[in-house]
Amino acid sequence: MLSRVADSVYWLSAYLERAENVARFIDTNLNLMLDQGDEVFEQWQPLIDTTGDHEPFEHKYGPATRESVFQFLIFDRENSNSILSCLEAARENARMIREIIPSVMWEEINRFYLLVRNQSRKNQLDDARRVLDQVKLSSQTIVGIADSTMSRGEAWHFARMGRLLERADKTSRILDVKYFLLLPSADEVGTPVDVIQWAALLNSASALEMYRKVRGRITPTAVADFLILDRYFPRSMHFCLIEAELSLHAITGSAPGTFQNDAEQQLGRLRSEFDFVRVEDIVYEGLHEFVDRFQQRLNLVGRAIFDTFFATRPAPGPVLQEAAQ
């Protein structure tokens, strides 16, 4: 497969996943904030922090309000991680590989993009909710279409890898920010608001119902354990790493537990750390420190994938050394 094509499939899938996750963040926060009263007390800043784009946000909008956050995260074309920008990028990638993906998938991506773009003048509460619901649904529809119409060849595996690495990153972000906000309140542990906030955290990863089945009652450590280390829940970080690695090895043909390139080495190391870590170890290290280190390493995986597959050059050049730093 052409490096360029692989690159596009990978990012097409990653951007769709990003759009869906941004929609999840906003929707969950909105649900949480609705009965919490005065708008001045609403917490919208953490949402911006989750995305890691707080500097450009503050520069352009100042303090975070519901309206400014909606605008920035959903419709702002200058924010490269807004839902609209993600969909634009996904669609551009899809256009570059229209001949590779099934037509029905292209059409759905196109329809999805147009739908959000045509909404982009509206910033009302009601309209925003509808858009968010639609974003989640469309993203999942596209995954479903890919799953049932694409051969399990290289393209499908690059798509899955892009989606799952992006998802692992986003799950780590919601955990990071919410954990920070929720934990310091020792006096509120076990109070209704506390349980509701933790349930909302799970909900933003669509994890509440599955969490209940395996863990029952809500405790902060069990929530962290579930979202980081569960092997079976499709939005847990561990699950994403396991499945992404499967796709990586399906692409290269390397035997499991071995590596032939930087991508395999980086991802394999990261995944194996998850295989053998306990949530107590993570809490001991500090959740934020753990997540920060995780994101750093995930970035290295991303770099390595880029160098290994997308930036194919006649001979290994300085890029590889850079990635190793």
Partner 1 sequence: MKFDDYRTEGFYDEMFQADGRPRSTAAGLFQRLATLSDGELQRRQKAADLTLLDMGITFNVYGHADGTEKVWPLDLVPRIVSADEWDYIERGLKQRIRALNLFIDDVYHRRQIIRDGVVPEELLTSAKCLLDPCVDLSPPGGIWCHVTGTDLVRDGDGQMYVLEDNLRCPSGVSYVLENREVMKRTVPLAFEGLRILPVEDYPERLLETLQNVAPPGMGGPNVVVLTPGIYNSAYFEHSFLAQQMGVELVEGRDLVVADGHVCTRTTKGLKRVDVIYRRIDDTFLDPRTFRSDSALGVPGLMEVFRAGRVALANAPGTGVADDKAVYAFVPQIIRYYLGEDIILPNVPTYTCWDPKQCSHVLAHLDELVIKPTNESGGYGIVIGPRASRQELDDCANRIRANPRNFIAQPMLALSRVPTIIDEHLEGRHVDLRPYILYGKDIYVLPGGLTRVALKKGSLVVNSSQGGGSKDTWVLSGAPATIRERCAPSNSARVSSRPSLRAEHTPC
Binders in 205-224 for partner 1, by CB under 8 A:
209, 211-218
Q: Which of 5, 11, 142, 237 binds partner 1 (CB under 8 A)?
A: 11
- Residues numbered 109 to 148 that lie near partner 1 (CB under 8 A) are 125-126, 129
CB of 218 to partner 1, least distance (A): 6
- Residues numbered 225 to 264 that lie near partner 1 (CB under 8 A) are none
Q: Is 42 left (phi over 0), alpha (psi -120 to 50) or beta?
A: beta
Which residues contact residue 164 at a Cβ distance below 8 angstroms, ignoring those fewer than 6 apart?
A: 240, 241, 243, 244, 247
- Cα gap 12→91, rounded to integer Å: 7
Tell me the one-letter amino acid at 276.
F
Find, among 32, 34, 39, 31, the residue nearest to 63 by Cα: 39
Give ∠ CA 141-142-148 in degrees, rounded to 5. 90
Closer residue to partner 1 (CB): 34 or 114: 34
Q: Which of 180, 265, 273, 283 binds partner 1 (CB under 8 A)?
A: 180
Give ∠ CA 318-323-325 in degrees, rounded to 5. 100
Closer residue to partner 1 (CB): 229 or 287: 287
- Our finding on whether 103 is near partner 1 (CB under 8 A) is no
CB of 250 to partner 1, least distance (A): 22
Closer residue to partner 1 (CB): 44 or 239: 44
Task: Name the H helices within 230-286.
Answer: 237-252, 262-275, 279-285
Q: Candidates 10-18, 98-106, 229-237, 241-249 — which segment interacts with partner 1 by CB under 8 A?
A: 10-18
CB of 135 to partner 1, least distance (A): 15
CB of 16 to partner 1, least distance (A): 13
Q: Which of 102, 122, 136, 188 binds partner 1 (CB under 8 A)?
A: 188
CB of 159 to partner 1, least distance (A): 14
Closer residue to partner 1 (CB): 197 or 247: 197
CB of 12 to partner 1, least distance (A): 9
Q: Is 50 left (phi over 0), alpha (psi -120 to 50) or beta?
A: alpha
- Residues numbered 61 to 90 that lie near partner 1 (CB under 8 A) are 63-64, 80-81, 89
CB of 151 to partner 1, least distance (A): 24
- Cα gap 51→295, rounded to integer Å: 12
Closer residue to partner 1 (CB): 259 or 310: 310
CB of 213 to partner 1, least distance (A): 4
Q: Kindly tell me the burial class for residue 33, based on how many C-beta atoms sit within 10 Å of its own C-beta (0-12, 13-18, 19 or more).
A: middle
Give the interface size with partner 1 as a residue count (CB under 8 A): 72
- Cα gap 311→77, rounded to integer Å: 27
Tokens for 258, please give them: 């071995």
* Contact (Cβ atoms closer than 8 angstroms) between residue 147 and residue 101: no
Closer residue to partner 1 (CB): 272 or 299: 299
Q: Candidates 68-76, 107-115, 150-158, 306-314 — which segment interacts with partner 1 by CB under 8 A?
A: 306-314
Q: Is the dihedral of CA 300, 302, 307, 311 positive or negative?
A: negative
- Our finding on whether 30 is near partner 1 (CB under 8 A) is yes
Closer residue to partner 1 (CB): 147 or 292: 292
Neighbours of 186 (CB within 10 A): 6
